[in-house]
Structure 1
Amino acid sequence: MGLSNSKKKPEASIAPVNATQSETNVTTVPKAPPVAVNATPVPNWINESQFVEILTQNVPHFSEIRSFNAEAAMGAGENYATLMLRVKIEAELKDKTIKPVSFMMKVAHDTAQMQEMLKVANFFDVENEVYIDLIPKFEELYKSKGLNLTLAPRAYRFNEGLKTEPKLKNTVLMYDLGQDGYKNVSRVKGLNVQQAELVLRKLAQYHAASAAYKSIHGPYTDSIMYGMFGADVEKAMDMLNTMFASTQKVFLENVKNYRDGYKYHKKLKTYFEKMRDNFISLGMAKPDEFNVINHGDCWVNNLLFKFDQSGNLMDMLFVDFQNPRYAHPATDLLYFIMTSVDISYKLTYFDYFIKYYHDQLVEHLKLLDYKERVPKLVELQIETYKYGSWAIMPCYMVLPVVLLDPTESATFENFLGDTEAAVDFKQKMYTNKRYQHCMEQILQWLDNRGLLEIYEPPRALPVAAAPSIGPVEQTKSQSDLDLDWLNSQDFAELIVAQEPQFEKIVGGASTTATKPGDNYGDTLLKVNIEVQLKDKSTKNYDFVLKVQADSSIANYFPKELEVYGKYVPAFEQLYTEAGYSIRLSPRSYRFNKAIKHNYLLMEDLRRIDFEMADRRQGLDLDHTKSVLKKIAQWHAASLKYKELNGPYPSKYNDGKICENSRQFFQKLYESIGEGFVRMKHNFKGVEEYAHKLLLAL
Structure 2
Amino acid sequence: MCSIVFDAEVVVPPSHLNVAFFEEVLETALRTARVQLLAIHIRMGSSTGENYCSQIYRAKVSFKRPDHPEQQMVFIVKSIPRQDSVEFIEDLEVYLKEKITYTEVLPRLELMMQCKRRFGPKLYQCIKEPESTLVFEDMGQVGFKMASRELGLDEEHCQLVMERLAEFHATSMVLAVLDPHIFDAYTDGMLSPRGLAKDDGLLMRFFAGNGKELHNLVGSWPGFERIAEKIGKYMQNQRANLERSQAPQEKEIKVLNHGDLWVNNLLFKYDTAQRVQDLILIDFQLSVWGSPGIDLNYFFYTSLTLEVLRHRRSQLLRSYHAKLAKTLLNLDLGVPVPSYEQILEEVHRREAYGFFASYGIFPTVSQDKAQTADNNLENFKDEDFANHKVRQMFESRRLAETLRYSLPYFERAGVFN
TM-score by length of 2: 0.90
Q: Secondary structure at the match of 1:298?
A: coil
- Structure 2's unaligned 5+ residue stretches are 1-7
Q: 1:361 to 1:137 in 2, by over 3 A?
A: same
> AA paired with 2:390?
K
Q: 1:439 to 1:83 in 2, by over 3 A?
A: same
The partner residue of 2:125 within 157, 167, 180 is 157
Matched, 1:269 2:232: yes
Q: 1:364 to 1:50 in 2, by over 3 A?
A: same
Q: Name the structure 2 match of 1:361.
A: 324
Q: Name the structure 2 match of 1:176.
A: 138
Contact kept, 8 Å, 1:258 with 1:436, in 2: the verdict is no
Q: Name the structure 2 match of 1:133.
A: 104
Contact kept, 8 Å, 1:138 with 1:210, in 2: the verdict is yes
Q: Name the structure 1 match of 2:217.
A: 254
The partner residue of 1:41 within 11, 16, 41 is 11
Q: Name the structure 2 match of 1:427.
A: 391
1:54-69 aligned within 5 A: 54-61=25-32, 62-69=34-41
The partner residue of 1:84 within 48, 53, 56 is 56
Matched, 1:405 2:368: yes
Q: Deviations over 1:323-380 (max 9, x none)?
A: 0111010000000111111111112211221121111111111111141322111121
> How many correspondences in the alignment?
404
Q: Secondary structure at the match of 2:374?
A: coil
CA distance in 2, matches of 1:205, 1:150: 10
- Cα deviation for residue 180 of structure 1 reads 0.2
Larger Rg computed on CA atoms: 1
Contact kept, 8 Å, 1:290 with 1:374, in 2: the verdict is no
CA distance in 2, matches of 1:301, 1:399: 12
Q: Name the structure 2 match of 1:148.
A: 116
Matched, 1:374 2:337: yes
Matched, 1:386 2:349: yes
The partner residue of 1:202 within 164, 168, 172 is 164
Q: Name the structure 2 match of 1:335.
A: 298
- Cα deviation for residue 209 of structure 1 reads 0.7
Q: 1:418 to 1:393 in 2, by over 3 A?
A: farther
Q: Name the structure 2 match of 1:446.
A: 410
> AA paired with 1:421?
F
Q: 1:218 to 1:420 in 2, by over 3 A?
A: same
CA distance in 2, matches of 1:234, 1:402: 25
CA distance in 2, matches of 1:308, 1:275: 45
The partner residue of 2:184 within 222, 228, 232 is 222
- Cα deviation for residue 444 of structure 1 reads 2.4
- Cα deviation for residue 234 of structure 1 reads 5.3
1:230-629 aligned within 5 A: 233=193, 236-238=196-198, 240-258=203-221, 260-406=223-369, 407=371, 408-414=373-379, 416-417=380-381, 419-453=383-417
> AA paired with 2:137?
Y
> AA paired with 1:44?
P
Contact kept, 8 Å, 1:108 with 1:171, in 2: the verdict is yes
CA distance in 1, matches of 2:241, 2:339: 26
Contact kept, 8 Å, 1:237 with 1:280, in 2: the verdict is no
CA distance in 2, matches of 1:229, 1:387: 13
More relative contact order, 1 or 2 (CA 8 Å, 6+ apart): 2
The Cα RMSD (Å) is 2.4
CA distance in 1, matches of 2:249, 2:414: 22
CA distance in 1, matches of 2:9, 2:52: 13
Q: Deviations over 1:248-279 (max 9, x none)?
A: 22332223234544332222222233343343
CA distance in 2, matches of 1:235, 1:436: 28
Q: 1:285 to 1:262 in 2, by over 3 A?
A: same
- Cα deviation for residue 149 of structure 1 reads 0.9
Q: Secondary structure at the match of 2:337?
A: coil
> AA paired with 1:430?
F
Q: Secondary structure at the match of 1:65?
A: strand
CA distance in 2, matches of 1:136, 1:271: 42
CA distance in 1, matches of 2:105, 2:337: 22
Q: Deviations over 1:165-188 (max 9, x none)?
A: x224x1222110000010001111
> AA paired with 2:18?
N
CA distance in 1, matches of 2:157, 2:43: 30
Contact kept, 8 Å, 1:54 with 1:158, in 2: the verdict is no
CA distance in 1, matches of 2:41, 2:54: 19
TM-score by length of 1: 0.55
Q: Secondary structure at the match of 1:219?
A: coil
Q: Name the structure 2 match of 1:191.
A: 153
Q: Secondary structure at the match of 1:222?
A: coil
Q: Secondary structure at the match of 1:440?
A: helix
CA distance in 2, matches of 1:101, 1:335: 35
- Cα deviation for residue 211 of structure 1 reads 0.4
CA distance in 2, matches of 1:78, 1:419: 20
Q: Deviations over 1:46-102 (max 9, x none)?
A: 223211112112215541211111111111232222221111111211225222111
> AA paired with 2:253?
F
Contact kept, 8 Å, 1:295 with 1:325, in 2: the verdict is yes
Identical amino acids, percent of aligned pairs: 24
> AA paired with 1:332?
D
- Cα deviation for residue 302 of structure 1 reads 0.3
Q: 1:60 to 1:234 in 2, by over 3 A?
A: closer
Q: Name the structure 2 match of 1:108.
A: 80
